[in-house]
Amino acid sequence: MLEKIPINLIFLVSLTLTLTTTGIYGAINPANGATPISVSQYDKMKNCTQNLSKHPTSIEYLTYFNCGHISSSSNGQIIRDFTLIINENQKIPISDEGHIFDGWTFNGTIPGPTMRVTEGDHVRIKVINSPENKHAHSLHLHSIHAAGMDGVSMGGYPGGAIPPGGSFVYEFNAAPYGVFPYHCHVDPIADHINRGLYGMFIIDPKTPRTQMTEFAMLMNGYDLNFDKEGPVGMPTPAEANADQQAVKPVVSTDDPQAVKPVVSKGSHDHGKGKTDSGKGKKLNVETSAPTATENASANENDGGRDNEIYTVNGKAFQYMTHPIPVQAGKPYRIYLVNMLEFDLINSFHMHGTMFNYTIAGTEEKPNYMTDIVTMAQGDRGIIEFQYDYPGKYMFHAHQAEFTDKGWMGLFDVKPNAVQTTTTAAATTATDTPSNSVKDLNYS
């Protein structure tokens, strides 16, 4: 059989293998004293998937890292190629209770795949807008790149709005290292995000971070009221002037009997549809039209829209029913991205331990230690944690409404081998803990 294979194909294959196995990162910046590491070694450390076309479930999403097809340019630069296919009219299960979301997807899932590269790589992401789609779409990546690669319609760049049936290759050198969101940036942006066109993009430093088991967590929500979709903007001058005329003037600020205008405090009732938060298993989804009071007090910048379901990694309560197994005494890292639309603030709170937090993942050392991180839309960062004691611990948004509506999970902390053998000697909670957060190898 061997003699039938064209000689140029053998050469191409062997060249590709040679390039991918001999490419190194650490030596690119020898000034920092890094030990050179091969591309394949580093990708293995990163837990890069072998199956680039997988549609990860929300359980698999935790550890599904798509590092692209690897090749090398003539000057030795590592090239990573990705393909994202956008499909509308996708029926996405967003709970185990039967809630199906009419979503738009990158590669068939919400969130889209976590793409992972190394600082300095040349990245090429081909985005295909399926011909059966009705809308133009784009890929807007955070991080550094040329204007034509930014995926926004302003400026007239072809990558700003890919028509149905079209495609575009976004191309750039990955910088700086950190964790980033990616999303479609076609107007109305809130609708294209709410429908599910977003994901996580990790640029790893050339010198690897301390190795530990890593998870991807992307926080999102779903507004199921599609009849509210459409452009949102400033009121027309006529509307704005009419609104101002409608406010009755204050009669007197000194007279306690004076009639003052009634001003809404903007107390949008986020408690509607609440369930017993202690159980946190049932979604009570209310999609009916808001009352006039709710409409008046809702945030006018988002057209009064609100989410009915909140999740981490796409499916409500998924890690309550499937707790994430971790081991006491072992360090873990979470790449965390907030892609929640309409609600201005989201948060991540961990029970039973503290974590080190690095804002945007752009520093080698953490910025602070906490057990809650609060994030606005598009914020992201890196959490590093360790549990000292076995047991089941909750993690969730620190907004009760979000937890009641799906954003809540569990870590199932198993005792580690060392702890198991020394259990007889020391097991009480009054024992001095191992001061885990400070043991994560930061000098």
Binding residues (CB under 5 A) for Cu ion: these are: 137, 184, 186, 192, 197
- Please say which residue, 92 or 326, places its beta carbon nearer to Cu ion: 92
Min separation Cβ 287 and Cu ion, Å = 23
**221 close to 306: Cβ distance less than 8 angstroms:** no
The minimum distance between CB 63 and Cu ion, in angstroms, equals 27
The residues pairing with 84 across neighbouring beta strands, listed in sequence order, are: 127
Nearer to Cu ion, 197 or 373 (CB): 197
Cα–Cα–Cα angle for 241, 243, 245, nearest 5°?
70
Q: What's the min distance (Å) between Cβ of 176 and Cu ion?
A: 26
CA atoms within 13 A on the CB side of 420: 6
* CA separation, residue 314 to residues 18, 189, 200, 409 (Å): 39, 19, 13, 12
> Cβ of residue 103: shortest distance to Cu ion, in angstroms?
12
Helices (H), 248-399: 292-297, 318-321
CA distance 383 to 357: 5
Q: Which residue is nearest to Cu ion (CB)?
A: 184
Judge contact between 273 and 308, C-beta under 8 A: yes
Least Å from the CB of residue 66 to Cu ion? 20
Helices (H), 315-431: 318-321, 400-404, 417-421
Residue 184 vs 203, nearer CB to Cu ion: 184
Q: Which CB sits closer to Cu ion, 186 or 383?
A: 186
Query: Which run of H or of E encompasses 198?
Result: strand 198-204
114-118: strand order across its sheet: 65-66, 114-118, 198-204, 178-183, 140-141
Is 58 or 194 the residue whose CB approaches Cu ion more closely? 194
Least Cβ distance, residue 167 to Cu ion (angstroms):
14
The number of residues making up the chain comes to 443
**What is the nearest approach in angstroms of Cu ion to the Cβ of residue 105?**
11
Amino acid, res. 243: D
Q: Which is nearer to Cu ion, 184 or 437 (CB)?
A: 184
If the CB atoms of residues 58 and 129 are measured against Cu ion, the closer one turns out to be 129
